[in-house]
Amino acid sequence: MHTNGTSWRLQCTINGQPIDTEVEQDETLLFFLRDRLGLTGTKGSCLEGECGSCTVIVDGQAVNSCLVLCPQMQGRTVETIEGLANGDKLHVLQEKFLASGAAQCGYCTPGLIMAAKALLDENPNPSEQQFFEGMEGNICRCTGYAAICEAIRSAAREWK
Amino acid sequence: MFFQPRHVDEALEIRGRMGSDVTPLGGGTDIVVTINKTSMRPKHFLDLTHLPDYTHVVRDNGNWVLSAGATFSQLGKLPMKALAAAAMTVGGAAIRNTGTIAGNLGTASPAGDGCVALMAIDAEVELTHATRGRRTIPIHEYFTGFRRTALLADELITGVRLRTDWRTAWYKIGKRGSINISLVCAAFGMSPEGGVRMAYGCVAPIVMRTRLAEEIIEKDGLTDAAIEAAAQSVMKEVAPIDDHRASANYRRAMCGVLARRLLRELRIKNTG
Ligand SMILES: Cc1cc2nc3c(=O)[nH]c(=O)nc-3n(C[C@H](O)[C@H](O)[C@H](O)COP(=O)(O)OP(=O)(O)OC[C@H]3O[C@@H](n4cnc5c(N)ncnc54)[C@H](O)[C@@H]3O)c2cc1C
């Protein structure tokens, strides 16, 4: 498959919805989600893979959406923070972040929750080491992490 | 143009025809950072991530064969200590899920942790051309200069072969525990036949081996005296620079420390 000029016909699934639209070949998934689909829950900050605020899940794995080019998502399944709640019913990670007061400014929260979801989907009972490895790519500059870890741990206890 | 071949022959044909006009794209963790941060825009992309088996890691006759697109997350699970440990120090989980071994070799940074680990086990790199076919070269012949390699502009990296029976050790000195670019890193390996490899990153324009130190250990074994002589030799052989991450003097001193530490580790431990 290849582009027509620099324009690519992207077919993929985002939060369960089929997507079929034209994208530019060097457009990143982050700005496609935010600017074209209005899914502004996914944040951009460092744009170099260091902060984790743009984390989404692609085919079950945590990925930095700022470092993915849209055509690479051909045929892939993307989950963003907007896909977690079921109607008004929040996802257990969202509930626990609220209950633990794990957000302050909140900018890193969607990325943290998506990284945590990928971690717990793969392994609902991670060791300290595995927990650290799964979450080390996500930075929070407000809270000091204790409440965040508590929220993820308590979500893990109820993981289904 | 953005090409997304579904078969390796098609990928090789496009690369063979377009050469350096087309940019192979793996996980994008180097390329897309450059796109985000500079005005550089590749005109043509060759997306390899949809090739069948691009991420495969298989055993073959006592070797491991990594497909070019094996990710750091995959390498982190291999029973080869230096390579697995090096892979787990790269970025965070999201970077490890996408960053590939071929991308590390393609960028060929002197700080390439995967490159350093591969140097310690005499890995072989498979470079393939559409019609000339595949050539396999030893990793120490792959790096030819600062970010220059033996990969020709019309070839693709298609795989890496590793032996499984080496003892290895790894250590990376960085400034923090996560998302941590090396100030100095080292990977050492010992073959069952007694061959010794001592590879360092961030201490020269290319990832390098300290061959005089290797010879000392190969000749005298892992005695205290030989380890100290090797450490002294390492500090003479490396050629680090001062930069924003660390001074040359600090790096040189740490090379000696890592030599002692990793050689002792190889002496104690028998596996991995
Ligand atoms: C936040 C962050 C942290 C990082 N930390 C580390 C670290 O600790 N250690 C480290 O070593 N690196 C690190 N990196 C750098 C990067 O992740 C690695 O170099 C990675 O291996 C690149 O792989 P990729 O598949 O993403 O490469 P890409 O960006 O897709 O490609 C990199 C280069 O390789 C070429 N290439 C890719 N595949 C092939 C192929 N099959 N044949 C020929 N050429 C090819 C590309 O054309 C390009 O020139 C980090 C990057 C980020 C963003």
- pLDDT recorded at residue A101: 96
Q: What is the CATH number of the domain that holds B183?
A: 3.30.390.50
**In a domain? residue B30:** no
**pLDDT band, very low/low/confident/very high, at B181 (cuts 50, 70, 90):** confident
- Give chain A's domains with CATH numbers: 3-83 (3.10.20.30), 92-157 (1.10.150.120)
Percent of chain B whose pLDDT exceeds 90: 92
Please answer yes or no on whether A74 and B98 come within 8 Å at the CB atom.
no
Please answer yes or no on whether A69 and B91 come within 8 Å at the CB atom.
no
Q: What is the mean pLDDT of residues B20-29?
A: 98
| Cα separation, B21 vs B42, whole angstroms | 8
In terms of C-beta distances under 8 Å and separation of at least 24 residues, what long-range contacts does B141-144 make, across chains too?
B142/B105, B143/B108, B143/B115, B143/B206, B143/B207, B144/B206
- Chain A neighbors of B35, CB-CB under 8 A: 26, 28
| Cα separation, B148 vs B105, whole angstroms | 10
**In a domain? residue B130:** no
- Tens-digit pLDDT profile for residues A53-99: 999 999 999 999 999 999 999 999 999 999 999 999 999 999 999 99
- Output phi, psi for A144, to 5 deg: 85, 10
pLDDT over 70 (residue B269): no
pTM value? 0.97
- Tens-digit pLDDT profile for residues A91-127: 999 999 999 999 999 999 999 999 999 999 999 999 9
Contact B24, B49 (CB under 8 A): no
Please answer yes or no on whether B95 and A49 come within 8 Å at the CB atom.
yes
Sign of CA dihedral B116, B119, B121, B127: positive
User: Which residues of chain A from 8 to 47 reach within 8 Å of chain B, CB to CB?
Assistant: 8, 25-26, 28, 47
Mutate to test the pocket of ligand 1, among B22, B51, B95 (most ligand atoms within 8 A of CB): B95
Q: Which domain holds residue B262?
A: 167-271
- Chain B neighbors of A66, CB-CB under 8 A: 32, 36
Q: Give residue B182 CA to ligand 1 midpoint distance, Å.
A: 15
Q: Give residue A152 CA to ligand 1 midpoint distance, Å.
A: 30
Q: Is some CB atom of chain B closer than 8 A to the CB atom of A64? A: yes
**In a domain? residue B112:** no
**pLDDT band, very low/low/confident/very high, at B141 (cuts 50, 70, 90):** very high
**pLDDT band, very low/low/confident/very high, at B58 (cuts 50, 70, 90):** very high
- Tens-digit pLDDT profile for residues B239-252: 999 998 899 999 99
- pLDDT recorded at residue A145: 94
**pLDDT band, very low/low/confident/very high, at B11 (cuts 50, 70, 90):** very high
Residue among B2, B27, B95 minimizing CB distance to A137: B95
- pLDDT recorded at residue B167: 94
**pLDDT band, very low/low/confident/very high, at A43 (cuts 50, 70, 90):** very high
- pLDDT recorded at residue B271: 47
Nearest-CA distance from A59 to chain B in Å?
11
Indicate which atom in ligand 1 lies nearest the CA of residue A137.
1
**In a domain? residue B219:** yes
| Cα separation, A19 vs B25, whole angstroms | 23
Contact B157, B106 (CB under 8 A): yes
Per the structure, the count of domains in chain B is 1
**In a domain? residue B250:** yes
Q: What is the mean pLDDT of residues B154-167?
A: 95
Percent of chain B whose pLDDT exceeds 70: 99
Please answer yes or no on whether B32 and A136 come within 8 Å at the CB atom.
no
Nearest-CA distance from B200 to chain A in Å?
24
Please report where in the chains the tokens 């019309």 appear, as a residue: B154
pLDDT over 90 (residue B102): yes
Please answer yes or no on whether B93 and A133 come within 8 Å at the CB atom.
yes
**In a domain? residue B105:** no
pLDDT over 70 (residue B103): yes
Number of cross-chain residue pairs from A and B with Cβ atoms under 8 Å apart: 111
Indicate which atom in ligand 1 lies nearest the CA of residue B104.
21
| Cα separation, A111 vs A117, whole angstroms | 10
